[in-house]
Chains A and B, each alone.
Chain A
Amino acid sequence: MSNTTMISRGSHVSRIWVIALHAFTQLVRMKVFYFLAVFAVIAIASNFFDLPQHEGPESVGVNVLRSIKSWSLGTMTLFSVVLSIVATALLLPKDVEDRTLYTILAKPVPRMDYLAGKLLGVLLLVFVSLALMDVLMTAVLQIRTSMVMEQQLEMARAMDWPQDAIESLRAETLAQGPSWSLQGAVFAVFLRASVMASLALLISTFSTSTLFTTIISFLIYFIGHFQADARDVYLQAGQAGEGVFARLASLLISLVLPDFQNFNVIDAVIEGQAMPLLVLGKLTLIGLYYAVFFTVASWFIFAEKEF
C-alpha cells in the first residue's frame, strides 16, 4: 500500500516536472531572455545618474548606489509581473490552439498535474530571469560600492579621521551596497510575481481570451495595492461613520483580492533598511498561501472544463 502511494506520488512529481520543463522551454523559445540585455543597459546606465549635490565628501557617491538598486529592482518588478501574467495567460490558449492540450489530457495526466506543471514552468522562468538579473545587479553594485568606499576611505585618511568614525562611515556605505536584505527584496519580487502567476492561471481557466486574462490580472494587480486601504476602512469602520454599503464593499475587496502592499518592503530595502528574516518568512507564507489556493481553485474550475 505504502509502496503504491510512493510510486503514485513520485509519478505526480515527475509528471509535473516534465510539464514544467516543457512550459519553460516553450517560453524560452519566445525569446523572453532578450529582456536581459535591456536590463543590463539599465543597470549600467543607472551608474551615471550622479547629479551634482550638496553633500559633504563623506557622502559622495552613495546616492548612485541607491539609484542602481532603485532602477534594477524597479525593472525586475515590472519584468516579473508582466512576464508572470502574460506567460500564464498565454499558456492554456496556446496549448488549445496547438492541440497539445488534447494530447496531454488524453493520456493519464491528472488535470491538477497539468496546471501545476504549467504554473511551475512560468515560475521557473521568472525565477531564472530574476536570478540572472540579480547577479548582474549585485555585480554592478559591488563594483560601484568598492569604488565609493575607496574614495571615502581615501578622504577619511586624508582628513585623519579616527578609526571609529571610519568604521561608522564604512557601515553606512555598506548598508547601501549588496546585502542579504537586497537578496530578500529580490525574493519578495519573485513572491509577488508568483502570486500574480497563480492568479492569472485561475482567471485563464474561465477566461475566453488571453487579452481578457491579461487585462483582468493587471487590474487586480493594481487594485491589490489598495486592498490594505479597503481592509483598514473595514476594520476601522464606525470610527469615521461609514455606511453599511461602504463597509460591505471594503470587506468584499479585502476578502477577495490579494494584498500586495506588504510586498512593498522592497522600497525600504532600496532606501538602505535591513529586512529581518522573519519578515521574509512571513511574506513567503503569504505568497505560498495565495499560490496554493489559486492553483487549487484553478483545478476546481479546470477539472470539469470541456474541450
Chain B
Amino acid sequence: MKAWQRNGILTAALLVFGAARMPFEASLARELRAAGLTPPPMEIGTRDKIGQTSSAVALGGLRTLVATFLNLRAFSFFQEQRWDDVADTYDTIVDLAPRTRYYWETGSWHSAYNAASYYMNDSRLPALRRREAWRASILRGRAFLERGIRNNPTDWSILANLGFLLSDSNKFAAFRDSNEAFAAAADAYRRSADTGKALPYVRRAEFYSLARVAGKEKEALALARSLYTDPRNRTPTLLILLLVLEAHENPSMDSTRRALELFGTPEKAYEALTGHWRRTHERFPVYGIAAALESLEKNLAVPENKSIFKQPLQSTTGPDDWFQK
C-alpha cells in the first residue's frame, strides 16, 4: 500500500470514528452539565484575568487548582487592603469553581464586612465618599451572595449567609428599603431551611426577619406558633415576638397575662421584656410591650427612677454618626 493510500484511509477512519462518537459525547456533555458535574465554559474575561499560563492550566482540566492559587492571591490582596483587587479575584475564582460555597461566602465577606469596615474608618476620604464606599461594598457583598445562590440554589449555607447580611443591624442603613431587606432576609432563610440541610437556628432566623416586615405580621405569627410547638425553639426572642405578634393581631389582649404565661414568673417576664424594649436598634416590633412593662413594674414595685422608661435605650448609632467626621 502506498503512503498516500495509507494516510487517506487513516484520515477517513479518523473522520468516521469521530462521527460515530460525536452524538454520544455531545449527549454525555449535556448530561454532565445538567447534573452540575462539569462547569460552564470559562468566559473570555476570566481567561484574560488569570493570564495565559493559568488559563492554559485551567483549560487543561485544573480549574479548581487555579482557583486555589487565586484564593491565596486574594488573601494577599486582603492583607494589603486592596479591596477592588480582592473583589476582582473572587469574581474570577467563582467563574473557575462556581460550586464551591467557601469562595462565594468568603468573597462576599471581604466586600460586605472587611472592605465596608475599612471604608468606615478610612480617614483619608471625606465623610460622604466614605459612606458611599461603605454602602457600595455592602451592596457588592449582597450581589455576590445572590450570584452564588443563582449558581447553587440548594446550598443552605450561602442562603443563610445572605439572610444574615440582610438582617445585620450594622448594615441596615446600606439598604434603602429596610422592609424589603427584611423580607429578602426572611425569604433567604426560608429557602435555606427548606433545603432540609440547614441547622435549626435558620428557621428561627427566618422568623426573626419575617417578624420585622411590616404587613407580614399574620404570616410571622403563624410561623411563631409553629416554631413554639418544639420546646427547643423557645428562645427569649421567639417568646417575646410571639407575644408582640399576638398583641398586634388582638390589640385588646392582656399582654401582661400572656407574658406571665410565656415566661412563668413576673421577674423573668420583666427581664425579657426590658431587654427587648432596649433593643431598638434591631428594629423589632414592640406591640403590647409598653403596656405589659407598665403593669409588671407596678406588680414588682419597681421604683420610678429605675423604671425602664427612664433608662437610656441602647445606642442607635448608625452611618449618620459614623460618617460625621
Contacts and interface: CB of A to CB of B under 8 A. Distances in A.
Contacts of A161: 199-200
Given A53-B106, A66-B100, A300 B6 contact: yes
A43 to B, nearest CB: 13
A293 B65 CA distance: 31
B43 to A, nearest CB: 12
Contact of B100 (A77, A172, A229, A271): A271
Interface in A143-168: 161-162, 165, 168
Nearest to A276: B35
Contacts of A8: none
Given A168-B197, A300-B6, A275 B37 contact: yes
B21 A289 contact: yes
A297 B13 contact: yes
Interface residues of B, number: 52
Contacts of A264: 38-39, 61, 63
Given A286-B25, A286-B28, 17 more contacts: A53-B109, A162-B232, A165-B199, A169-B199, A225-B60, A225-B61, A229-B41, A255-B14, A259-B29, A264-B39, A268-B39, A273-B37, A275-B37, A276-B35, A289-B17, A300-B6, A300-B10
A226 B60 contact: no
Interface of A: 49, 51, 53-55, 58-59, 62-63, 66-67, 70-71, 73-74, 77-78, 81, 161-162, 165, 168-169, 172, 192, 221-222, 225-226, 228-229, 231, 235, 254-256, 259-268, 270-273, 275-276, 279, 282-283, 286, 289, 293, 297, 300-301, 304
A225 B59 contact: yes
Given A54-B106, A78-B62, A255-B15, A268 B25 contact: no
B18 A254 contact: yes
A81 B60 CA distance: 10
15 contacts: A49-B72, A54-B109, A70-B65, A74-B68, A77-B60, A162-B232, A168-B197, A235-B26, A255-B22, A264-B61, A265-B37, A265-B38, A267-B63, A268-B37, A268-B39
A262 B99 CA distance: 17
B9 interface: yes
Nearest to A229: B41
Contacts of B14: 255-256, 297
A266 B61 contact: yes
A267 B40 CA distance: 12
A202 to B, nearest CB: 9
B99 A271 contact: yes
B22 A254 contact: yes
B29 A74 contact: no
Contact of A221 (B10, B29, B37, B60): B60
A49 B102 CA distance: 14
B10 A262 contact: no
Give the dominant DSSP class at A's interface: helix
B258 to A, nearest CB: 28
Contact of B102 (A66, A74, A168, A231): A66
A65 B1 CA distance: 57
Interface of B: 1, 6, 9-10, 13-15, 17-19, 21-22, 24-26, 28-29, 31-32, 35-39, 41, 56, 59-65, 67-68, 71-72, 75, 97, 99-100, 102, 105-106, 109, 113, 157, 197-200, 232
**What 5 A-B pairs come out closest when comparing CB atoms?**
A255-B18, A74-B65, A54-B109, A271-B99, A268-B37
Contacts of B67: 70
Nearest to B96: A267
A264 B18 CA distance: 20
A267 B64 contact: yes
Given A77-B62, A168-B199, A235-B26, A301 B10 contact: yes
Contact of B157 (A49, A59, A231, A255): A59
B13 to A, nearest CB: 7
Contacts of A231: 22, 25-26, 29
Contacts of A301: 6, 10
B200 A165 contact: yes
Contact of B68 (A71, A225, A226, A259): A71
Given A70-B64, A74-B62, A273 B6 contact: no
A54 B75 CA distance: 12
Nearest to B157: A59
Contacts of B72: 49, 51
A271 B104 CA distance: 13
Contacts of B59: 222, 225-226
A271 B97 CA distance: 8
Contacts of B56: 222
Given A77-B62, A266-B61, A300-B6, A58 B199 contact: yes
Contacts of A275: 37
A261 B64 contact: no
B36 A273 contact: yes
Given A165-B200, A231-B26, A268-B38, A54 B60 contact: no
